[in-house]
Chain A
Amino acid sequence: MSEFTFLFRGSDGSASPEQMQQTMKKWLAWFKELGDKGHIKYPGHPLQRTGKVVSGIQKVVHDGPYAEAKDVVNGFTLINAKDLSQAVELSKGCPILEAGGSVEVRPVQIMDM
């Protein structure tokens, strides 16, 4: 088993309360399925939309993280999967894709000492 992070981008958009509940239901179902199959290493957290980016030797502080809402990472989850291709398959069930968002699948570097 290897570890992967799912980085979620894009929003579920503005919707009516009923649509929001439907979207959330899909997320809960997706998480449950991943969990039941032992793929969830750590459920992760949502990230707030605001924040700062500190950069360079000068330690310049910018409002951030990005200007475009669709580029902002708004949550992460740690996943157990056999390999990258399985992790990618798992990510395809994410409801954020239906709303035009994206999931970035990144293998976690584990140091074998």
Chain B
Amino acid sequence: MDPSEHLFRRESGRLVAALTRVFGVHNLALAEDVVQHAFCRAMEVWKFRGVPENPSAWLMATAKNRALDVLRRQHAARSFAPELGRLLDSEWTLAPAVEELLAPNALKDNLLRMMFSCCHPALAQESQVALILNILCGFSVSEVGSAFVSGHAAIEKRIQRAKKVLAQSKHLFDVALPSDFSARLPAVHRALYLLFNEGYHGASAAHAVRIELCREAIRLVTILLEHPAGTTSKSYALSALMHLNAARLPARVDGAGNLITLFHQDRSLWNRELMLEGFRFLELSATGHEVTEYHIEAAIAAAHSTALRAEDTDWKVIVALYDTLMQIHPSPVVALNRAIAVAQDQGPARGIAEIEAIEDRDRLADYPFYPAALGELELRRGQRDLARDHFQAARSLARNPMERRFLDQRIGACSK
């Protein structure tokens, strides 16, 4: 039997989350060691004897045995989870207590605790996302580094610092306290949103890596939605926007690894199943009176989804949605996207005027799609030389070969 794709990576998150409950969050590194050990054992045994019927259970059992071993041997020297307390003193109480914390029905709760713990207020948002990728999604530090493009050393330091903060927080986040839960929920939403965006718009060169990041974000938001306190209108909206955007991923890159813009995508490649899921979540999100940026972004994605051809897109609706988004969650990137929608509705000249009116557009100085958007609009109104200059500026900002190839092609289009 061949273990399912990414089994080890997925199990890593589950096991570390579960073992941290047993060992205490200050012993995060110990939990990671025990998990690494279980994987080594699995590798050794499975390659000779084949993969067991239930690989997840095998890994959990191996990790549990090792954990019990560590608890027995080190309970005088180390302190473990405060919940375990005196249960550790006797074999009668130790084994059942550990059994309970590692039971399959505690799994989602464990993951959720870790998810909330990673979104510690003392951590910068990027650190929260890096921590989630490392601990919950089982990406190694260098894999996280390659997803984020920033140097390996920078990511390694960031993750180490973040882990120190987490370890010093003494307790894992308690998801059973409703007021704490709802207080931290926005930070969790934000981290999952950033995780998804890193996959969707991020700079990693490998398309496969980016799809994985989007999948992970969807997996985690789904876990959030399985907890009663997590089923808020905002969580549904976040899930809707992820599903609706992820549905377009198969059309976003062609067979040769080239980026395809929304206008030129083969829409028959859009994933109907994800789209329907997205619409279902969008409907579920339409309760209460809170309209968040996630609601609006999901609605924008939905507006694109309903257009069978690019020219069928209802740009007036999309501009109106961007107007709302600018009110509740303004940012230069949102303003840029709004300007592009305006250009679609009212022509390139209006679009360029809108871009030039973006107040804090200096914050877009490193963003290749800012000059690229100007280039596209100049090209559309026939200013080839201006367009070429913009595309060349964009190319010098490109973050990976895929973006460079795309911009080379646009530079070429200026000479035709």
Contacts and interface: CB of A to CB of B under 8 A. Distances in A.
Contacts of A12: 43
Contacts of B44: 46, 74-75
B138 interface: yes
Contact of A17 (B39, B47, B48): B39
B125 interface: no
Interface stretch (A22-30, A63-71, A79-87): A22-30
A16 interface: yes
B167 interface: no
Interface string A1-34: 0000000000010111111110111011001000
B143 interface: yes
B7 A21 contact: yes
Contact of B9 (A18, A28, A46, A74): A18
Interface in A46-88: 46, 74-75, 77
A43 B143 contact: no
Interface residues of B, number: 26
A45 interface: yes
B315 to A, nearest CB: 42
A6 to B, nearest CB: 11
A21 B6 contact: yes
Interface in B7-49: 7-9, 11-12, 36, 39-40, 42-49
B192 to A, nearest CB: 21
A40 to B, nearest CB: 10
Interface in B124-154: 138-140, 142-143
B330 interface: no
B43 A17 contact: no
A21 B48 contact: no
Contacts of B47: 24, 27-28, 31, 46, 75
Contacts of A16: 9, 138-140, 142-143
Nearest to B35: A17
Contact of B138 (A18, A24, A28, A77): A18
B68 interface: no
B8 A17 contact: yes
B50 A24 contact: no
B51 interface: yes
A88 B86 CA distance: 57
Contacts of B39: 17, 20
Contacts of B138: 16-18
Which of the listed residues A14, A17, A45 has the most CB atoms from chain B within 10 Å of its own CB?
A: A17
26 contacts: A15-B140, A16-B139, A16-B140, A16-B142, A17-B8, A17-B138, A18-B9, A18-B138, A20-B8, A20-B39, A20-B43, A21-B6, A21-B7, A21-B8, A23-B43, A24-B46, A24-B47, A27-B47, A28-B46, A28-B47, A28-B50, A31-B48, A43-B49, A75-B44, A75-B48, A77-B48
- In order of increasing CB-CB distance, the 9 nearest A-B pairs are A16-B140, A27-B47, A46-B44, A17-B8, A21-B8, A17-B12, A17-B9, A17-B138, A18-B9
